[in-house]
Amino acid sequence: MKGTVSLETETAAAGLLEGIVVLDMSQFLSGPFAALRLADLGARVIKIERPDGGDLCRRLYLSDTEIGGDSTLFHAINRGKQSFAADFKNPADIAAVRALIARADVVIQNFRPGVIERLGLDYASASTLNPGIVYASITGYGSNGPWRSRPGQDLLAQARSGLMWLNGDADQGPVPFGLAVADLLAGNAIVQGILAALVRRGVKGRGAHVETSLLEALVDFQFEVLTTHLNDGGRIPQRSAFRNAHAYLSAPYGVYETADGWLAVAMTPLDTLGALLGLEEIVGLPADAAFRKRDGIKKVIADRLRTVPTAHWTAILEPADIWCAEVLDWPRLFASDGFKLLDMLQTVSRDDGVAIRTTSVPLRVDGARAHGALAAPRIGEHTEALRREFGLN
């Protein structure tokens, strides 16, 4: 924000974006995730929320766990932000938000197309107030077209993207990801656009409007397989009927049960793997057999791998440079030395006694990972302080 900031910033440790102020006018996951990543990089993020309930994500529960009156999901994606309560039906509050836009660096919003324009807080209005503003919009399916007004929800975007036909085995129907991949990928994409726009603003002094959608992010996510599909006669990918892990990759690519767990095996020459596993029947096969006969080959490998524990196989395969890995659950991941060295977990808290264990930024700068100290804010927690700071009263 332009000028001196008198209120102590409550974001993650100052970093690459120190001095950049973001107005997060978004809800749920995609926009707030983008704002979170900017906060992790040192930006000051002011979350604009309704005074009567705030971000709807506060009530979007992943389990029955509630912390400080809000869902763990809200805490995970809004840590380190300030909260400014504004009723968009109140002209005075709209005026206050416009005053904040006039002094901000970045605005993020994910309203349905048409809503932000009716509020008078769209890019055209914002750029009039602040020609240098970097304005980021996330929609479900773009701002135009027949799908523009349909709900921009993660599962629905996955359904329209074709992505579900890459997961699961061939005899299954469409299988969604077990994560909100559309939201998180769209958030990551918009962050890239925001950062590029900030660089251009620094060079040329101009703001920008960067846009993406859940559908665009999911199409981009599939760029490798879509490029293959578009250039090999439009053939539809065929999922393996047994332990499918990638519709386009041949045996042994997959996840296999062992006597005491599971083992993932990636791209590996069948001759080498067959020799190490004592499976002469998969040694010396024609080059195309690894795909053409992949289900049968994978079943042969599966029968062999399930006979002894995982550690037995990794002790044989890893020294031979076979690409494989034990499949870990979260407790075993957290207990591993490899994970501990990454220092990816942190505890954030706030002055009402709320403390939450969560992840940290997945980036290291000059060898160090920044850890924040502050949990997600209460609704409107910083409204009065921000009003005083910017003369909004």
CA 379/CA 381 separation, integer angstroms: 5
**148-151 contacts: CB < 8 A, separation 24 or more?**
148/113, 149/112, 149/113, 149/114
Inter-residue contact 49 to 82 (CB < 8 Å): no
Structure tokens at 27: 């809800």
Residue of 55, 183, 343, 366 marked catalytic: 183
Secondary structure, 3-state, the chain: CCCCCCCCCCCCCCCCCCCCEEEECCCCCHHHHHHHHHHHCCCEEEEEECCCCCCHHHHCCCCCCEECCEEHHHHHHHCCCEEEECCCCCHHHHHHHHHHHHCCCEEEECCCCCHHHHHCCCHHHHHHHCCCCEEEEEECCCCCCCCCCCCCCHHHHHHHHCHHHHCCCCCCCCCCCCCCHHHHHHHHHHHHHHHHHHHHHHHHCCCEEEEEEHHHHHHHHCHHHHHHHHHCCCCCCCCCCCCCCCCCCCCCCEEEECCCCEEEECCCCHHHHHHHHCCHHHCCCCCCHHHHCHHHHHHHHHHHHCCCCHHHHHHHHHHHCCCEEECCCHHHHHHCHHHHHHCCEEEEECCCCCEEEEECCCCCECCECCCCCECCCCCCCCHHHHHHHHCCC
Angle, helices 270-277/310-317, rounded to nearest 10 degrees = 130
Catalytic residue at 183? Answer: yes
The closest alpha carbon to 245, from 166, 315, 174, belongs to 166
Contact between 359 and 79 (Cβ < 8 Å):
no
**Rounded (10°) angle between helices 181-204 and 214-221:** 100
Active site residues: 183
